[in-house]
Structure 1
Amino acid sequence: KNTISIWPKGKMAARLILSAVIFITCMVCYYNSLQCGFVFDDISAIKDNRDLRPHMPLKNIFFNDFWGTPIHKEQSHKSYRPLCILTFRWNYALHQLEPMGYHLVNMMLHSIVCIMYFRMCSMFLPEISSFIAAMLFAVHPIHTEAMSDLEDFDLVFEIYSRGNNYFDHVFDENNGSGFIAENSG
């Protein structure tokens, strides 16, 4: 039976456990953000942004700035982040204007980014070094604003996007083999 594995078969269980530890650490570290409401720019970006509402045409997120103002207007901030607004819209569909849901999604995405960072480091560093690097990245205070201020949610997307682009690059450079190894069992 052929299976595709991200890591060699013998290390998969250990890396899954380490990934779970990273995920849980992120969730515990930022657990207190679940109690936060909307702060600072969250009011304009989420509460007052009509593009998040289901009655507004979905296409608006592609023609309006981050704050819901048509991009062609002089009053527009000219910040174009449709993917972030789309996730806010999905969040709105699930949680309306309940901040806890937005913070929970943010925490989960941060956890996934940290696991991706661990996996990327594992390509170049020993296992323990990769784990330590990912744990430091996971709990570093610089992420506090992105976790507490939902408007900075796009920072999580930026990190994810750059990591994803890197993995795609490595995968393409190795003629499709990248860091994915086939194991036969």
Structure 2
Amino acid sequence: MDRKDRRLYLAVVLCALVPYVPALWNSFAMDDLYIILWNPLVHSMRGVWGAFAAPYWPPDLGGHMYRPLPLATFALDWSLVHGRPAWFHAINLLWHAGTAVAVTALVRRWSGMAAAVVAGAIFAVHPVHVEAIANVIGRAELMAAAAVCLAVYAAVVRDSVIWSGIALLLGLLSKENAAVAPGLIIWAWALGIGPSPSAEAPVRPTRRRMAQFAVSWVVIALVYGVVRWGVLHPYERYHAIAPVFLGESAFAGRLTAVAALADVARLLVAPLTLRVDYSPGERTIVRSLLD
């Protein structure tokens, strides 16, 4: 890494950290209270390994979701600082800065310096990331995003089934949306993006190598699915339904989900009218294509 690259990454790190410095003075808020402040699982070092056998949401709140890695880091943080929120927020900022650097490195690998700076800076300061960074439990998104970047890098640049698979598994143990990593890898293959930007022709792995990656994804999905089911199965009788969906048809539920997806896409391009809560309970039901 030469001096120019170091300056590039330093600029991206500053873009990621400076806007969020005020978050260090925040306390725990919203879901932080249930997942961290009032959750005895993360109040001792036992939670570091106990998180892998426990649901993300405490059992008395339904026992939903399986995200052990963020819980393990919360337990480690609590053991170090006894629940001081400033430390938790600082760790989130470091995760955000690291992920922004990973995004920059990926773009730098296949594009010029200017494109890498723009991509890294946009990722670092994009307003839609506020919830994931300033809310402590948003660490799950930060960890999953970092793992996805590493999985793509290991597959496309290093052609490593093992390291890409490890990164994918760590991402899934952080948050479910890391499941997009195989899709991004396949997309990179389809575009012919290879290990080096200097390649004159599209670079793709052999079919045999692609099959090895595919097999690893299936194995990871099966292992993750079995473990997740084993942990969450005792709580599957508990279902949380947003009041907005009560008494509505399945079609209305699907239309509302499509509208939510369109809203998310809009926010990526034009991050206006941001809200503090994007949960289903905060949405208006969509019953027809004309709504």
Query: Do the two structures share a fold, i.e. TM-score over 0.5?
Result: yes
SS in 1 for 2:6: helix
Match of 1:122 in 2: 108
Question: Quick one: distance in 1 between partners of 2:48 and 2:98?
Answer: 27
Instruction: Provide the aligned length of Structure 1 versus Structure 2.
Output: 165
Coordinate RMSD, CA, aligned: 2.3
Q: Once the 2 structures are TM-superposed, how far is the Cα of residue 56 of structure 1 from its aligned partner?
A: 4.1
Looking at structure 2, the residues matched to 137 and 57 of structure 1 have their Cα atoms a distance apart, in angstroms, of: 32
What secondary structure does 1:60 align onto? helix
Asked which structure has the greater CA Rg, the reply is 2
| AA partner of residue 41 (structure 1) | D
State the secondary structure of the residue aligned to 1:39. coil
Per-residue displacement from partner, 1:20-41 (whole Å, max 9, x unpaired)? 1111221111111111110100
Q: 1:50 to 1:105 in 2, by over 3 A?
A: same
One of 18, 36, 58 as aligned partner of 1:28:
18
Note if 1:135 corresponds to 2:125. no
Determine if contact 2:28/2:136 at 8 Å carries over to the other structure.
yes
The alignment status of 1:41 with 2:31, answered yes or no, reads yes
Tell me, in whole angstroms, the C-alpha distance in 1 between the residues paired with 2:16 and 2:160.
32
Moved over 3 A (4+): 55-59, 174-179
**Hey, what does 2:57 align to over in structure 1?**
67
Q: Contact between 2:51 and 2:68, CA under 8 Å: does it hold in 1?
A: yes
Report the TM-score when normalising by structure 1.
0.81
Residue 148 of structure 1: which of 112, 131, 134 is its match? 134
1:94 lines up with 2:80 in the alignment: yes
Q: Give yes or no for the alignment of 1:80 onto 2:66.
A: yes
Q: Which residue of 2 aligns with 1:182?
A: none
Higher fraction of helix: 2
Q: C-alpha distance in 2, partners of 1:93/1:121?
A: 37
Q: Could you tell me whether the CA contact under 8 Å between 1:61 and 1:85 is conserved in 2?
A: yes
- Which consecutive residues of structure 2, in runs of 5 or more, have no partner in the other structure? 164-193, 197-291
TM-score in terms of structure 2 length:
0.53
The one-letter code sitting in structure 1 at the alignment partner of 2:57 is W
Cα displacement string for residues 110-134 of structure 1 (whole angstroms, at most 9, x for unaligned residues): 0010001000001111111111111
Query: For residues 147 and 45 of structure 2, what CA distance do their matches in structure 1 show?
Result: 29
Identity of aligned residues (%): 19
Counterpart residue type for residue 48 of structure 1 = W
Deviations 1:24-72 (A, max 9, x none): 2211111111111101000011011111122646442122111332xxx
2:107 alignment partner, SS class: helix
